[in-house]
Structure 1
């Protein structure tokens, strides 16, 4: 089966001139991440001379240098060069899930156009790094996947309406489990649905390395010198944050940035890492990838909900076998803050959430 990748492309217009800059930005990122122009050249398999030509192209496009060369220090990014690197990282963090969803749709269309595609799994799920793994993993297992990133609300609503086969949701453990479940009770049907455990993960505060603002907990978010970046309204992560704020009797409207709304954990991390915010709330994996410190505040389980009837299909049998494989569990465990040891475990809603044991059977 096909595996597509869609990426944005930088283009700069100045008057009648048009400059395509994907190689320029890629080279700047290489210098930023490896620390030297030589390291960036090795990564991109470019000669030193050709790389300088690319940088001169960027200089011409913007009218100012993007890199400075100093004796004994090699090449270092100028302030504009740094801004371009972090802008690209924010773009990737914000748009990658959208492009992945589009690529998944196109992959399915190609399969249908070129073959008698069967067993396509329609998945809607809240964005997460274990879910990201699934697309590549299922491609290797030859399981066609139509993946759309949606909030937990939207995914469960789509499952209830028959618009998808499985819906991804995440629910915190402990005292917040019951109130979080209330948000989804209208779409959870204990008599006719089952849950498949994907992973356990940690959520908490992402802060700059070394904690220069001395942020030690949620109460510090209300300080006047702290800028916060939030997840979008309706996301399970924002629901969890609201529950934590309520527990600590913190007025959310005193938090500078509470009303912002990014659609991925990586976008939140990118904002903090680029200096546009001092703190964000999300999972640990992007904090590690963007070189941030992390303060864990809650643990939650990520499940896929599906109908009991669909659980018995050949497609779902293959999916569960993939989730249970030692290789997939090891891949999840390699993600910072994730635990995949229970991946592929099938549970009734009452087994996962005892709060539902006394729920009346619905039709």
Structure 2
């Protein structure tokens, strides 16, 4: 049965749909909620998250051998991000991981939890690990700062801190801006694991501390402004980490062999990712937003237009107005104004690009220094 958060019974709550089903999209005032969330005065219910635990003394070395990330040295309370890839290097699972000293907690999109747990269980062999899908037992509350009230709640789980946009050990940045000017620095992010049956108690404790609730729309708008990819939105069945700048947080380029490593290394050292992530500043005169999957078009010299990508996420930001993330062909002119086709007849949005992944990303071997950035 699908999860429905008890916080949906709060006054003004409007239910979210799609991947965020089960929590509130907003509580009556999305722009105010977004501002208070950005300022650290609100928490957002993310209890649609799937939660998978891995216990046992071999858990971290085992996850290291399976994934793109080096997590064997995680200390209790330390957070990271890892990818599980196909043989072709395509992203199959994108997991947030935090270890509590006894078990590793993997936070994923709701649709991924069961498949991830089943796949991990099939890979145990003779190792001392135990996998469990505990999604129904746990809720998740997100915030732009660590909320000690939630961390101190009896029975609370660990807190995952997003490593984005810092370049992790062994990672590499494909962004055109240096780390100290990355917009993701304006959005530190923490996800607190709370027992599902204590979510209402947690909200009441936050109320007492002057911390309100924001909806999932607010969290998504801040994520887009931070250039942060989300599994199932920016990823599809062809996505590789390089296209989304995920080498910065989720890939250790010097670790041992894992499924998909050959593609990761080949594209990074010798080739270019076929697509790249961009942020779009949308024309707001239509007072609507394009749907996920809307085609992104580029005009041609003969007056025609060709599709160069698709919208992956869109939101109304409380300061910047309508913004979106899109995945476009690598060779799309970064200076060109693009057009997003809406669902209705004649509905179009002019879109100015903000480059995230550099058009020349990849091919690091023997390239001039300084074009791509590393720690």
Task: Considering fraction of residues, name the structure with more strand.
Answer: 2
Task: Considering fraction of residues, name the structure with more helix.
Answer: 1
TM value normalised by structure 1: 0.25
TM value normalised by structure 2: 0.24
- Rg (Cα) greater in structure: 1
